[in-house]
């Protein structure tokens, strides 16, 4: 496994995030045989919302090859998006981003990190399970509203699950900061 460098996103990173997400989403198109998958949003607006965006690279100072976008929500952080370029997949970059999300979330005083993901896609729920997340029912207005929004947007390609990581229990790798 290669070394991964994770840092806070800067303004000059934002344009590349859309391209990274579109490349990663192409894998879903092939898994679910989807026609008309919507392209990723611009990250200019999300970068101004409460929360944070982390980027990963394989060498210090190089362009991002992956990112994690976390929204600040009541009770913690919500991992809205995690994407790694397929050409850089399976090298530990996604796991490094997840660990950095946990560390940064703890530093911000969050009690937990939540996410919504596909249950049976190997790089989704099974991956997050291996990172310590557990499946839970949506237990806040934000998470219940998110479930409704997914249904309205037609994300019925496969079963989606709610997953949580409790930041008040267990130790977190604190090398990121």
Q: Where are the domains of the chain?
A: 5-166
Question: With contact defined as beta carbons under 8 Å apart, do 103 and 95 qualify?
Answer: no
Task: Identify whether the C-beta of residue 64 lies closer than 8 Å to the C-beta of residue 72.
Answer: no
CA distance 8 to 28: 27
Q: Residues of the chain with pLDDT > 90: what percent?
A: 49
Superfamily of domain 5-166: Gcn5-related N-acetyltransferase (GNAT) (3.40.630.30)
| Whether the Cβ atoms of residue 80 and residue 20 lie closer than 8 Å to each other | no
* Residue 96: strand pairing partners: none
Q: Which pLDDT tens digit goes with each residue over 71-129?
A: 999 989 999 999 999 887 888 899 999 999 999 999 999 999 999 998 888 888 999 99
Q: What is the pLDDT of residue 53?
A: 95
Six-digit token string for 71: 């929204």
What is the structure's pLDDT at 14? 87
pLDDT tens, position by position, 118-127: 888 888 899 9
């Amino acid at each position: 496994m290669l070394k991964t460098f994770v840092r806070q996103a800067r303004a000059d990173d934002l344009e590349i995030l859309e391209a990274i997400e579109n490349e990663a989403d192409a894998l879903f198109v092939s898994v679910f045989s989807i026609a008309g998958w919507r392209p990723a949003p611009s990250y200019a607006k999300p970068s101004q919302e409460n929360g944070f965006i982390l980027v990963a690279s394989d060498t210090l100072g190089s362009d991002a090859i992956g990112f994690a976008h976390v929204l600040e929500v009541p009770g913690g952080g919500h991992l809205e998006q995690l994407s790694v370029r397929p050409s850089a997949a399976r090298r530990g970059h996604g796991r490094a981003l997840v660990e950095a999300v946990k560390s940064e979330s703890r530093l911000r005083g969050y009690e937990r990190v939540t996410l919504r993901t596909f249950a049976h896609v190997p790089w989704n729920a099974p991956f997050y399970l291996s990172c310590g997340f557990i499946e839970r029912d949506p237990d806040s207005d934000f998470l219940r509203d998110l479930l409704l929004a997914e249904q309205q947007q037609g994300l019925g390609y496969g079963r989606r699950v709610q997953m949580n990581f409790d930041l008040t229990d267990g130790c977190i790798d604190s090398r990121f900061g």
